[in-house]
Amino acid sequence: GMLRALGWRRGRVLWMILRESLTLSVLGGVAGLVAGVVVSELLNADPFMAGFVQARFSLGLFAQALLTALVLGAAGGLYPAWRASRLRPVEALRYE
């Protein structure tokens, strides 16, 4: 709302919030992939768990996980971005 009060157009506010949502989802997806690989390797190194957990990683699996993170990030950021872009500047300044 403050950006609208500063003169930003609705489309610019919408895309800024969507880009932020997508950036966070990609960072979260990469962090999740790294954590998943590390945990699966640690489980495979444990003699008690050896053979119980057999993870197979591929480039396609990583791409699918990142695509899922992107889609969910876009879906999760779309409504807040739309709502922020529709907020009237007067309403945004009323609560600040």
Q: Confidence class of residue 96 from pLDDT cuts 50, 70 and 90?
A: low
Q: Of 46 and 62, which is predicted with more confidence?
A: 62
Distance between CA atoms of residues 47 and 60, nearest Å:
29
Q: Residue 88: which residues within 8 A CB-CB, separation 6 or more?
A: 1, 4
The pLDDT value recorded for residue 60 is 94
Split into its structural domains, the chain has a count of 1
Asked if residue 79 has pLDDT above 70, the reply is: yes
Contact 26, 66 (CB under 8 A): yes
Quote the DSSP letter at residue 96.
-
With tokens 């930003």, the residue in question is: 8
% of the chain exceeding 90 in pLDDT: 55
Q: What residue numbers bound the domain in which 41 lies?
A: 2-94
Other beta carbons less than 10 A from residue 93's beta carbon: 12
The torsion of the CA quartet 29, 34, 35, 36, rounded to 10 degrees, works out to: 90
What is the spatial distance between Cα 30 and Cα 66, in angstroms, rounded to a whole number?
Answer: 7
- Predicted pLDDT at 6: 83
Residue 85 has pLDDT above 70, yes or no: yes
Q: What is the pLDDT of residues 21-55, one digit of tens each?
A: 999 999 999 999 999 999 888 888 877 777 777 77
